[in-house]
Amino acid sequence: MASKAFLMIRSSIYIAPAENKGRGVFTSEAIAAGTAIEIVPVIVMSRNERIFLDQTLLHDYIFEWGYEKDRCCMALGYVPLYNHSSEANCDYEMDYENELISIRTLRAISAGEELLINYNGTWNDKGPVWFEKK
């Protein structure tokens, strides 16, 4: 199924240096809990393409994709630049049918605060992520 043409990025979010993490996503104004801050299309790739991507820097920016996690995707918009936290203030949701990822706040966010997701796929998963296991 072809994805719907869709792109929404809240105007108050921006990319800036994040202490000890390279770049990150921040907000210039307060955002209420439960607010969609970004909905973007993804580029879906096969298991075989994933083998090649895992040998590149892009490995750190792709998401597992599909109900069986048998593919991967590259999200457009700011999604690849959200940093990880086991105490994330945002969550992401994958819409496999429409090939979209959305980012939504889990709690109220203050102006200037960095927006963080949990790379383990569940906002409250305290387990280590791949770069902490090395």
Contacts with 8 (C-beta within 8 Å, 6 or more apart), sequence order: 36, 38, 39, 40
pLDDT at 2 over 60: no
The answer, yes or no, to whether residue 3 has pLDDT greater than 70, is: no
13 burial class (0-12, 13-18, 19+ CB within 10 angstroms)? buried
At residue 117's C-alpha, the angle toward residues 97 and 90, to 5°, is 80
Burial of 110 (0-12, 13-18, 19+ CB in 10 A): exposed
The pLDDT score that the predictor gives to residue 130 is 47
One-letter amino acid at 121 equals G
Q: Which domains does the chain have, with CATH numbers?
A: 8-120 (2.170.270.10)
pLDDT(131) > 60: no
Question: What average pLDDT score do residues 65-71 get?
Answer: 93
User: pLDDT tens digit string along 4-61?
Assistant: 556 789 999 999 999 888 999 999 999 999 999 999 999 999 999 988 988 888 888 8
Distance of alpha carbon 23 from alpha carbon 99, whole angstroms: 25
- For 88-112, the pLDDT digits (tens) are 999 999 999 999 999 999 999 999 9
Q: What is the pLDDT of residue 133?
A: 53
What is the pLDDT at residue 1?
46
pLDDT of residue 120: 73
User: CA 91, CA 69: separation in Å to the nearest integer?
Assistant: 18
Give residue 125's pLDDT: 56
Q: Report, as an integer, the average pLDDT of 61-82.
A: 93
Rounded distance between C-alpha atoms, residue 12 and residue 125, angstroms: 28
